[in-house]
Amino acid sequence: MNADLQSRLEKILSEPVKLSTTVSGGCIADSQKLEMNSGKLFFLKLALRVKSGMFEAEAQGLEELRKTVAVSVPEVIANEEDFLLLEWIEEGNDTNDSSMEKLGFQFAELHRFHGKKFGFMQENFLGDSLQINIPSSTGSEKWATFFVENRLKYQAELADKNGYSTQEMRILLDLLIMKIPDLLSGTEEKPSLLHGDLWCGNYLVDVSGKPWLIDPAVYYGHREADLAMTSLFGGFSDIFYSAYKSAFPLAPDYAVREPLYQLYHLLNHLNLFGTGYYRQVLSILKRYAG
């Protein structure tokens, strides 16, 4: 940590930094644990290749989740262009059944917090990718339209720009888009507040067994899209899903729609990490449109 940054942090926290230690925190930012002279601890994220507004968007997302009082999220201490300072959460060594059940119930409660329309007040980020939350066309008051315009089409256009798309992929996506209104028919709900990127790396359980959500990409959308992300890479137990569904049952045939919602995240991974995700994208497209 350079002297200028340390001075700024000490001014915010009104005491000297005793020690800073690098901790795991993803590939976008350098994450550190700060120990102050008083013994207080904080979590610091420093810009590596962070895009303009990324930390502000993350802070806004955490505050949006906090106001629901449904889930626990770290308190935002300060955010600036080059860093985000958060409350330190001491992570436990074990994720037990009780913690996962609690997380399932809390996730369901979060989804009962509704907005007036799909999207969010500002654009934010899904990993390192811009996430377009401002409706792009008339008709976006309908979830199917928003999902197509602001989620699938944006990522597909980005894949074209990045050179990861193919003619086959484009043809199949066009066929899928025509089918989406029918695929989602009968599942209509009010817009729910979504974490937006809940995989197993974006929750933690503290030493007392209490679950916390971190690193959100919030927007108001269909809760099935949020739930689908949890199963894409694993890390959530059957107890989590049982708790969620008992608290907030899903429309019939959710399992049929789940890969459709995972497609958005796989397209994003294609754009972030390259062609290793192409086969998974094509597999889902063929499943619905082939």
Per-residue pLDDT tens over the stretch 78-104: 999 899 999 999 999 877 899 999 999
The CA distance from 140 to 148, in Å, is 9
The CA distance from 30 to 32, in Å, is 7
The CA distance from 103 to 115, in Å, is 22
pLDDT of residue 141: 82
Per annotation, catalytic residue among 82, 182, 197, 226? 197
The CA distance from 197 to 228, in Å, is 10
Over 70: is that where the pLDDT of 138 sits? no
Per-residue pLDDT tens digits for 23-56: 876 566 789 999 999 999 999 999 776 678 999 9
Looking at residues 256-272, what average pLDDT do you find? 98
Looking at residues 272-285, what average pLDDT do you find? 97
174 is catalytic: no
Domains of the chain, CATH where assigned: 3-87 (3.30.200.20), 97-289 (3.90.1200.10)
- Residue 76 in contact with residue 63, Cβ under 8 Å? yes
